[in-house]
Structure formats: structure tokens, C-alpha cells
A and B are shown apart, each in its own frame.
Chain A
Amino acid sequence: MNSVLRAMRIELLTWPASLVWCWAILAVSFAVNLALFGIIHNNMTEDPTTGGVASIYLMLSIISSARIAQFFPFTLGLSVTRRAFYAATTLLLLGESLAFGIGLYLLALLERATGGWGMSLHFFQLPFMGWHNAAAQILIYVVPLLVVGAMGTFAAVIFQRWRTNGLFTLMLGTILVLGGVTALVSWRQQWTAIGNWLADQSVVALIAGWPALLAVVLAAGGYLAIRRATA
């Protein structure tokens, strides 16, 4: 455990910078949307809705993959085990997702309290998310953060282990699996069944439940790949 904490302290040395980047980009995205919809919302028939919050999800994915690329060769060179490094990185992502998710939840509360910033704007709370109890609502923010972070981490670990060929193979595999599943479902004419199944799922299960499983699978896959990776 000590070696995991030590590895995490190394990763935290320049962490404030990445934290500032994530939230600064979200703030700029928010400001631009606020200005834009401030001008046009009077002419709109529906509540203004924007996907600007996606910027922080994208940023978390980027800093997660950058963290592997930057800190794995450094810490491995300074006698940190792959296991300790990966555990530290995973814990850090968990912490970040939780903190970011709670931050987004608080901003969503503020958004609702101010009547959508005085113009019914949906920036932090998007209509498809619905509005649930605090725990469920926080999970709706946290789990997708975790998933995009785990995707960034997984791709970066694949690159560390097998370089460019690994990434291409990963891409090829993803296309084949998704394409194969699509073809299979079409051939068996199961789209209606899948549509019904999806309709039966709650919003929380769709946004926070099943994706959590994906995050766990990605994290486990990353662990298997990094065990024999070199700097």
C-alpha cells in the first residue's frame, strides 16, 4: 500500500495543473454558451440545451491517457513497480471522477436554483439525465467520467505495451466486435427486442449502471496489459 501511495504522490506533483486545465476549459465552454444563448434564447421555442459539459469528460479522458504516457516511464525508471503505478493511477481516476462528478452535481443544483441561469438553459443538467435523488444524480455524473477516464487509460496502456500496432489492433478489434454484434442483431432481427430491453432500463441503470461494468472491464484489461509493459 505504501508503494501505491508513493506512486500517487509522484502523480500528484503536477496534478494541480491538469486540474486547472479541466475546469478552465469547462468554464470557458460554459461562458461561451451563456453568452450565445443569452443572445438567442428569447427567439427559441424550446429550453436552450447544450452539450458543452462534454468538454470536461473529454479532458478527463485526455489527462488519463497522458498520465500513463508521462508517468509510467518516469516512475518505472525510478524503481516503482507496474502494479503500484497502475493501482495509484486507478485510485487517482476514481478520486477525480468522484470529485468532478460532485462538482458537476453542485453546479447542476445551482443551475436549477437559478432557473437555468435565468434563461432555462440546460448546461449541467441535461434533459435525458432526468433528476433523481442526490446519490443517483451524482452517480449519473461520476460513472461516465470514470468510463471515459478508463478508456483513455486503457488506450494509453495498450500503446505502452504494444505501441502503435497495439492501438491499431485495438481499433480493428473494436470495429470488428461492434460491427459483428450489429450484423448479428440485424440477421437475427432482434432490434425490437433490444429496443424493448433498453426501454425497460432505468435512466440510472443506462447512464451509471451498465457503464460501470464497462469501466471495471477496461480497468482489469489495463492491468493485464501493463504487467509486462516496458518504459
Chain B
Amino acid sequence: MNTVITARGVTKRYHDVSAVDSVSFSVRENGIYGLLGRNGAGKTTLMQMVTGQLVASGGELTVFGERPYENAAVLSNICFIKESQRYPDGFKVRHVLDSGRILFPRWDDQLARNLLRDFQLPLGRGVKKLSRGMRSSLGIVIGLASRAPLTLFDEPYLGLDAVARQLFYDRLLADYSEHPRTVLLSTHLIDEVSDLIEHVLLIDRGRILLDEEADTLRGQVLTVTGPSSAIDELTLGAHELYRERMGALARATVRGPLDSSERSRAESLGLDLTTTSLQQLVVSITRSDAQPKETAQ
């Protein structure tokens, strides 16, 4: 399978702060990747480097086998939808659509028009007069209709209500299944996209904390609740990600899977096992990285 993005030790420094700190990962062709992390974790900076908006301070970053910065051949295969996208004064929705048609080789005008109708965007409306949510919708329309082999969405849902967000997820999935491509989606709404994304990249304070198939994560991470001592006994040697204490009781997040004998032992120890949602997992891993396990409350 072809690799679309390869990052080796990619770093972006601003003065003495590293927004992205020596990250290495790769993104395969045709998959929906979730780029997760807190505000200021480095998601946007990373996406800006991938799309040639920023140049890395260090490391090696290739997209479609070449460096993306000022590379017209690479960039023509990329569509980057971000919340902060600026539009020229005097641009109407139809001008933005015209731009998409001019700039993206695989642009599908029919799809764009269908999406405009779905999101109820009037062609003749000035972009400056659109509400926050309508501007987000416009970005989503461009991102999907571009059919770019590498499409990046940087928190594309600002101001969108739950119905419109669901519409985005549905349309993305529908068009993706017909026209497979690589999608990198950064989001805070982890629960909403947990069924959508196939691969998770978790970034915090400029470093990659997790780079794993979503399927692998789904059944494998467990929350164990019960007496601290019992948990210690169970998780001895297992990979514990995070622990919260409440008096004698504790709740630990453990990377599984547990086999049947381990499960029955947990039961006999009076421990409660539940699978951890992707969102809980992300919270646990991020917090356990932020503070030593033992000082966790």
C-alpha cells in the first residue's frame, strides 16, 4: 500500500517553543485518519506543514514522495479545509465554487451543487454575509467536492449544529466509499467521529502519543474499576495507561486484550471491566502523559 505522508522527526519551532516536536508517522493511501489532541497540541501546525503553508524547522516531511513546500505538483493533489480560511471581499458562494473548479483537478461540480443544497447555501450570497456555521459548511462543500487525493479538515465543524455535523459525516463516508482517498480530520468531537475514523493519531504538546488503527483500539482498551490493591494484582506487568484514585477504590485504563483466564481472575478479584471509548482513551492517555501516574487524583 502506498504511503501518502511520511514524517521523520518533523519539528516546528517558534523561538524557543516547539509547536511540533520531532514527530514521526506515516499516513497510507486511502484511509480516514483522525488527528486528535487538545487545543494547542500542534494539530494545525502539523497540517500547515503537510500542506506547504508552513515550512518545517527540522526533520523530513514528504507528501506523495516529495517535499510539499512550494511544490505545485504535490499541492494540486491536496485540499486543506480550515476554520480560519479567508475569502476575498466581494466573493460570493458561487465564486468559491468557481475557484474549486479551477484549482482542483478532480473537482466534481455536481457533487458541489448537491452539497450546497443539502447544507442550504445560496449561490448568490456573499461569503462575508454567511453565518459561522454556513462558512464551515462552505468549507466542507469545497473539501468534499475537491475529491483531492489528500484532503485535510482542520476542525471543520465550528458553528455547525449536530444535524449539519451528521450530514458532514454521512456525506464524507458516502463519497469516500465511492471515491476512496486519504482524509486527515482533526477534531475535538472524538465520540462523534469514532466510528468514522480508521486510524488514530493523537498529538499532545507537539509529540505523537498514539498512532494506532482505530479497530485495534476499540475493543482493546479497558477500564478496570475496583479496590486499588486488586487492580495492582491484575495489572501486574500489563500496560497501564492511566489511573484515578478515589479512596481505596481506583479506576485504571489498561491496554488489553485480556484473555478469558484474566477476565475470570478480574471477576474473582471483584473488579469491574468495561471497554473504554475512544474519547475516554484519548483523555486518559493525554492526562497520563501530562503527569506521573502516582500523583493522579
Contact = CB atoms under 8 A, between A and B. Distances in A.
A10 interface: yes
B169 interface: no
A182 interface: no
A30 interface: no
B124 to A, nearest CB: 14
B247 interface: no
Given A10-B99, A13-B95, A70-B89, A227 B82 contact: no
Given A79-B103, A84-B72, 19 more contacts: A6-B102, A10-B99, A10-B102, A13-B98, A17-B90, A70-B88, A73-B86, A74-B91, A78-B99, A78-B142, A79-B51, A79-B52, A81-B52, A81-B72, A83-B72, A227-B70, A230-B53, A230-B54, A231-B53
A79 B80 CA distance: 7
Contacts of B71: 81
Contact of B76 (A3, A14, A70): A3
Q: Max chain B CB contacts within 10 Å: which of A77, A227, A230? A: A77
Contacts of A84: 72
B79 interface: yes
For this complex, into which size category does the number of interface residues on chain A fall?
Answer: 20 to 34
A9 interface: yes
Interface in A56-87: 66, 70-71, 73-84
A130 B86 CA distance: 46
Interface of A: 3, 6, 9-10, 13-14, 17, 66, 70-71, 73-84, 227-228, 230-231
Interface of B: 51-55, 70-72, 75-76, 78-80, 82, 85-91, 95, 98-100, 102-104, 142, 148
Nearest to B150: A79
B36 to A, nearest CB: 23
Contact of A77 (B54, B80, B102): B80
B99 A14 contact: no
Contacts of A9: 102
Q: Max chain B CB contacts within 10 Å: which of A3, A70, A78, A227? A: A78
Nearest to B69: A81
Contacts of B100: 78
B99 A3 contact: no
A78 B95 contact: no
A78 B103 contact: yes
24 contacts: A3-B72, A9-B102, A10-B102, A13-B99, A66-B89, A74-B87, A74-B91, A74-B99, A77-B80, A77-B85, A78-B100, A78-B103, A79-B79, A79-B80, A80-B75, A80-B103, A81-B70, A81-B71, A81-B72, A81-B75, A84-B72, A227-B70, A230-B53, A231-B86
Nearest to A72: B86
A231 B88 CA distance: 12
Nearest to B88: A70
Contacts of A77: 53, 80, 82, 85-86
Nearest to A77: B85
B77 to A, nearest CB: 8
Contacts of B85: 74, 77
A14 B88 contact: yes
Q: Max chain A CB contacts within 10 Å: which of B70, B71, B80, B86? A: B86
Contact of A14 (B52, B70, B95, B104): B95
Nearest to A17: B90
A159 to B, nearest CB: 14
Contact of B103 (A10, A17, A66, A227): A10
Contact of A79 (B78, B88, B89, B90): B78
A85 B264 CA distance: 65
A76 B87 contact: no
Nearest to A228: B55
A83 B70 contact: yes
B155 to A, nearest CB: 15
